[in-house]
Structure 1
Amino acid sequence: MSGRGYTVFDTAVGRCGIAWGELGVLGVQLPESREIETRRRLYQLFPEARELRPPPDIQGAIDGIAALLRGKTSDLSEVRLDMTGVRPFDARVYDFTRTIPRGETLTYGEVAARLKATGAAHSVAQALSRNPFMLIVPCHRVLEAGGYADRISPNGGSISKRRLLSIEGAGSPGSKTLFDVLLPVAPPRPQG
């Protein structure tokens, strides 16, 4: 790869964008309400990037993102990320978040504890709010205490964590979305 490029591509939830450089993916933009807004956001974030045909490794990332947004299993763990300029703590959070399996969630506090940064739940939340690598770093799998699936970071466009978790089929016993909190399912009644 040479230089910096970007492209906008179709997914089941709208037109997403991706920008890349020589070291890997620079950022992913989930769809805004209109494609022009998605393009504007990409330009604001990566003004030096030109619209180009993606090289094979970036096309692989695009295919993986599109599959994930169709509800398919997609492994994005091998996608190279350009973390130049990313704060060291944020990079640790992103690396760990990439290991959270599809359909599972953790809280900001649980991520902090697993990083041996107990008491840093707010710092984890701040790091994930700056996540430029949407879906490749699945920040939608990290929730507030209580399991609230709030709005995703600015690169999340108009899509909520709840919608992304729903697409992935999240719903394991330990994961809650705002929907679960507002309309809880009654536990099964004991037989007898």
Structure 2
Amino acid sequence: MGRGYTIFDTAIGRSAIVWSDAGIVGVHLPEAREIDTRRRLFRLYAEARELRPPMNTEIAIEGIVALLRGEASDLSDVTLDMIGIHVFNQRVYEITRKVPRGETRGYDEIATRLGAPSAARSVEQAIAKNPFMIIVPCHRVLDSYEDKISPNGGSISKRRLLSIEGSHAAHSKTLFGVLLPVAPPRPHN
């Protein structure tokens, strides 16, 4: 069959998903205009054709739509097509998929889980290349200074995605089980 894609509505705009016979190839959050999302798709997946999605893709779409509405959704059973993705990145994505909604992790925490505590920079690079937005919730992996999202993220930020999920990075539980407090807002004089 080759690769197929479809554009679908979400609470944040028209998103896109690409699949192959092996599973989901990529998820793309909306650009400012749908035409820009389509251009990105054509640039990355010139051979993909707009088709009716198979069951695995339908499940992914339903879960993505629910998550972007702020609802709980389990995408752990959605099959991903990891052909051509570096083994290290695959391992990063497997761990990232297990970060619960409402929590975040740091690059160093993911590196430690991989058994490579000095590989935080490599984890950051893998997260930046994540083609499976939302299904692999890369927005839940960040550093305190960071707000950017992967190239497939359109114009939405990690903090906005965390907000949609009903969490805030500063309130999120870390790998070590510590809940980070947030300072109350200062009164304006």
**TM-score with structure 2 setting the length:** 0.89
Partner in structure 2 of residue 185 of structure 1: 183
Identity of aligned residues (%): 62
Matches within 5 A, 1:23-172: 23-144=22-143, 147-171=144-168, 172=171
Aligned residues, how many?
Answer: 176
Mapped to 2, the partners of 1:121 and 1:150 lie a distance apart of 17
CA drift at 1:169: 1.2
The one-character-per-residue Cα deviations of 1:159-187 (angstroms, maximum 9, x if unpaired) are: 00000000111133546xxxxxxxx5239
Mapped to 1, the partners of 2:118 and 2:75 lie a distance apart of 29
CA pair 70-100 structure 1, distance change in 2 beyond 3 A:
same
Gaps of 5+ in 2: 175-181
Partner in structure 1 of residue 179 of structure 2: none
Mapped to 2, the partners of 1:148 and 1:137 lie a distance apart of 21
Partner in structure 2 of residue 179 of structure 1: none
CA pair 87-11 structure 1, distance change in 2 beyond 3 A:
same
Check conservation: 2:3, 2:49, Cα contact below 8 A. Answer: yes
SS of match in other structure, 1:119: coil
- Counterpart of 1:47, as a letter, is A
RMSD: 1.4
Mapped to 2, the partners of 1:3 and 1:155 lie a distance apart of 21
Mapped to 1, the partners of 2:30 and 2:172 lie a distance apart of 30
Partner in structure 2 of residue 9 of structure 1: 8
CA drift at 1:42: 1.0
CA pair 106-173 structure 1, distance change in 2 beyond 3 A:
closer
**TM-score with structure 1 setting the length:** 0.88
Check conservation: 1:149, 1:160, Cα contact below 8 A. Answer: no
CA pair 130-173 structure 1, distance change in 2 beyond 3 A:
closer
Mapped to 1, the partners of 2:146 and 2:63 lie a distance apart of 23
Check conservation: 1:152, 1:160, Cα contact below 8 A. Answer: yes
Mapped to 1, the partners of 2:5 and 2:57 lie a distance apart of 10
Q: Which runs of 4+ in 1 moved over 4 A?
A: none
Mapped to 1, the partners of 2:113 and 2:16 lie a distance apart of 31
